[in-house]
Structure 1
Amino acid sequence: MRELIVSLFPLYYERYIEVFGGGGWVLFHKPPGNDFEVYNDFNSLLVNLYRCVRDKYEELQKELKYVLNSREEFERVRSILDTEQVEDDVKQAAYFYQLIRYSYASGLTSFGSQPHDIRSNFPIIEQAHRRLAKVVIENKDFEKLIRQYDRPVSFFYLDPPYFDTEKYYKNVGEEGFQKEDHIRLRDALLSIEGKFLLSYNDCEFIRSLYDVPGINIESYTRINNIKQRYDGGAQFPEILIANYDMHEREREGSGQMNLFDINNGLVKEEDTL
């Protein structure tokens, strides 16, 4: 849905903050522009990977020369990250990237990859390195992050763990993302000075949380990436929630003002030369 999501961004903002960054699908899709950009995730392994891609991508590529193509090696690397402290940040990033690349559906729990030379991903890593060059990368709880970066010119895009699917998210905290966290997120967003756009699964609990004046909710569906493996074309219902008009960009684009257009109401015909 990233194409749709970017099209629904507000017309004007100076700070873009991606609160639950994950794979950075929206960040990498949006034009860099001149806005101040922040990527955040609570998963410290993921944040370390992004920082190494931004700051040490050549070292990371060298560390990835070892190709992980067996279940035994997958389990060995997984065990290292689960039970040991990897002192070298680049080595840790390489291990984590391998787990993502070689696990089933990027779930990090089971080996599910066909033989693949991970070095073929080096051009993508280099592109990501350039895109992240000016991006601030944070590893904070969402409430602290929102409070830190909130301004009237701030725009927050949020894709939190979906309600009742939190068990699928790894390293989101010792107790995971709880019902109370969904409420805490709502309370944090309703008090900001800036604007926010929030992606969620469509359910009554989330709808009831944001059923307040000034909040817009719209329904959409997307392809269910996992389920379609055995049920082709399966759809997943989602909602987008915002504290602004999500279609202001579309409306402005269809009737853009032109200072030199005599039909736009700004200049009367008799005033033109």
Structure 2
Amino acid sequence: MSWIGGKKSLRELIVTLFPLYYERYIEVFGGGGWVLFHKLPGNDFEVYNDFNGLLVNLYRCVREKPQELMAALAYCLNSRADFELIKNALARDSPASDVQRAAWFYQLIRYSYASGLTSYGSQPHDIRSNFPLIEQAHRRLAKVVVENKDFEKLIGQYDRPVSFFYCDPPYFETESYYKNVGEDGFTEKDHIRLRDALLRIDGKFLLSYNDCEFIRSLYDAPGIQTEAFTRINNIKQRYDNGAQFPEILIANYDLHEREKNAPSQLNLFGEGGFME
């Protein structure tokens, strides 16, 4: 599902850098769930969390009431008038069932410009074409715990030596793009609070951020690994084709332990390149 800050383009890289062993997977800032849905379910205990109550309600309805949700979406209209009605109903906290609120919010995501939730996107889209994805997500989420907690409380609750936390918080100085992250938004104090919570855990963490001096200084600590990379800047593509966005991955374990422990491939031609 499209979402501000979603990890669609980075999910493959992120999953390959997961630690070799863990028993609990906790996605602290779940958002669109790109990493959760890309990783194999396995036998690990999985948690999806987000502070956005509307988003969490949507995922709970996908997990528990997919048929009711699709029925509520079956006759919605892709129009500016309907978009404004839905946006205003959610803003006023109008009385509605959990399924109706989930349907409204899903329409807002699908029909807004760049999934920003604020302006109508004016793009042709039949929301019923997403029903197979809702059914797949329902099956994938069957055993996933869905939480709606502050990140510090969540980390403290689920931390164990066998826990692995993947964190994709609002990027520093881009927090205004995120809706419903708290009355004051995600502040500099929250970035520091997240750092403090992660540095005291017994488990492992992988953190994705925008690469900047402030974030690097926050995690300049013993035992912390960082890896910088760039990706296409989707927001700037309209006027600056090929623009890159610098990002950084931060972890308290060896980011390449999977690669180092992968079985070496047999060379059929021997060391010299000739059949022996």
Q: Which bin holds the TM-score, normalised by the shorter protein?
A: over 0.9
Q: Measure how far apart 1:228 and its partner are.
A: 1.3
Out of 174, 184, 209, which is 1:200 matched to?
209
Looking at structure 1, the residues matched to 174 and 108 of structure 2 have their Cα atoms a distance apart, in angstroms, of 21
Residue 84 of structure 1 is matched in structure 2 by 93
Superposition TM-score, scaled by structure 2 size: 0.91
Q: How many residue pairs get matched? A: 257
1:29 aligns with 2:56: no
| Normalised TM-score (structure 1) | 0.92
Please state how far the C-alpha of 1:254 moved relative to its aligned partner.
4.3
**Are positions 1:229 and 2:238 aligned together?**
yes
Task: Tell me which stretches of 4 or more aligned residues in structure 1 moved more than 4 Å.
Answer: none
| Aligned Cα root-mean-square deviation (Å) | 1.2
Residue 259 of structure 1: aligned partner? none
How far apart are 1:236 and its partner, in Å? 0.6
- Residue deviations 1:173-211, cap 9 Å, x none? 110000000000000000000000000000000000000
**Secondary structure, in 3 states, of the residue corresponding to 2:186?**
coil
Asked if the contact 2:211/2:248 (under 8 Å) is kept, the reply is yes
**Other structure's SS at 1:53 match:** helix
Instruction: Tell me which moved more, 229-238 or 50-59.
Output: 229-238
Q: Which moved more, 1:78-87 or 1:115-124?
A: 78-87
Rounded to whole Å, the distance in 1 between the matches of 2:244 and 2:105 is 30
> Following the alignment from structure 1 to structure 2, what is the Cα–Cα distance between the partners of residues 67 and 227?
32
Name the SS for the 2:262 alignment partner.
helix
Aligned to 2:272: none
Which residue number corresponds to residue 48 of structure 2? 39
Pairing 1:96-175 to 2, within 5 Å after superposition: 96-175=105-184
| Cα shift at 1:157 | 0.2
1:82-119 CA-partner distances (Å, limit 9, x unpaired):
01233300000000000000000000000013122111
Cα distance in structure 2, aligned partners of 1:23 and 1:220: 22
Aligned to 1:72: 81
**Equivalent residues of 1:68, 1:98 under 8 A apart:** no
1:94 aligns with 2:103: yes
- Find the counterpart in structure 1 of residue 72 from structure 2: 63
Counterpart of 1:24, as a letter, is G
Within 2, Cα distance between the matches of 1:227 and 1:72? Answer: 29
Moved more, 229-238 or 33-42: 229-238
Q: Bigger CA drift: 60-69 or 208-217?
A: 60-69
Q: Residue type of the partner of 1:144? A: K
CA distance in 1, matches of 2:134, 2:241: 31
1:209 aligns to what?
218
Q: Which residue of 2 aligns with 1:19?
A: 28
What letter corresponds to residue 163 of structure 1 in structure 2?
F
**Partners in 2 of 1:214 and 1:192 — Cα distance?**
13
Aligned to 1:250: 259
CA contact under 8 A between 2:80 and 2:122: conserved in structure 1? no
Contact 2:70 2:131 survives alignment (8 Å)? yes
> Unmatched 5+ residue regions in structure 2?
1-9, 266-276
- The answer to whether the 8 A contact 1:67-1:117 is kept is no
Deviation at 1:65, TM superposition (A): 1.3
Q: Report the identity percentage.
A: 79
